[in-house]
Each structure stands twice: as C-alpha cells, then as structure tokens.
C-alpha cells in the first residue's frame, strides 16, 4: 500500500510538472479558478477506526467500508474529504 501511494505521488508530480511547464497568464488562471466548484466536505475517519492510526493498520483497513462511506459522502454533495495521515503510520 505504501508503494502504491508513493508511486501515485511521484506520478502526480511528474504529470503536474509537464502540464504546467509554461506559466499561465493571470486571466487564464482566474478563468480556471472561477470554473472550479465550491469545496464542500469534512474530515474523514471510517466508522470502524477509533483513530487516525487504526484507519491505516493492516488488521483494520477495510476498503469496502471506505468505498461505501465515500459513496455516501458523494451522494450528500461532498466533493472533498480530508484524511489525517499520522506520522507514525
């Protein structure tokens, strides 16, 4: 799982670096920003985790529960959720 997250971060940095090689004009940046939806969300911790460390433990990590809760959040109109990644994980 850690390798997958690290790979996603590296790929994200490579793609974002390639996509934004040229500096946008102020007008283009403002137009892009104005088209973004208003952020609506919450802090997220799955129902089966008692704290932010337990969420990531192999014995308690439950992708099915997480998917169900993310679907619920989306159905409520949330477009962002914040996770806390503890430094001990």
> With 60 as the cut, is the pLDDT of residue 19 above it?
no
pTM: 0.60
Confidence of residue 69 (pLDDT cuts 50, 70, 90): very high
Model confidence band, residue 76 (pLDDT cutoffs 50, 70, 90): very high
| 89 and 49 belong to one structural domain | yes
Element (H, E) at 82: strand 80-82
Pair 23, 48 in one domain: no
Residues 31 and 74 in one domain: no
49 and 16 fall within a common domain = no
Question: In the Cβ-directed half-sphere of 19, how many Cα atoms lie within 13 Å?
Answer: 6
pLDDT at 4 over 60: no
Which H or E run includes 6? helix 2-19
- Main-chain dihedrals φ then ψ at residue 63, nearest 5 degrees: -60, -35
pLDDT of residue 29: 93
- Print the domain residue range for 8: 1-36
Decide if pLDDT at 67 tops 90.
Answer: yes
Domain identity same for 9 and 24: yes
Whether residues 48 and 80 fall in one domain: yes
Please state the domain count of the chain.
2
């Amino acid at each position: 799982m850690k390798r997958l997250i690290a790979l996603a971060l590296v790929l994200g940095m490579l793609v974002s670096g390639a996509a934004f090689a040229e500096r946008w004009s102020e007008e283009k940046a403002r137009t892009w920003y104005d088209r973004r939806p208003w952020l609506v969300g919450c802090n997220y911790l799955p129902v089966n985790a008692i704290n932010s460390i337990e969420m990531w433990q192999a014995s308690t990590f439950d992708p099915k529960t997480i998917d169900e809760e993310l679907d619920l959040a989306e159905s409520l109109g949330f477009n962002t959720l914040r996770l806390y990644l503890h430094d001990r994980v």
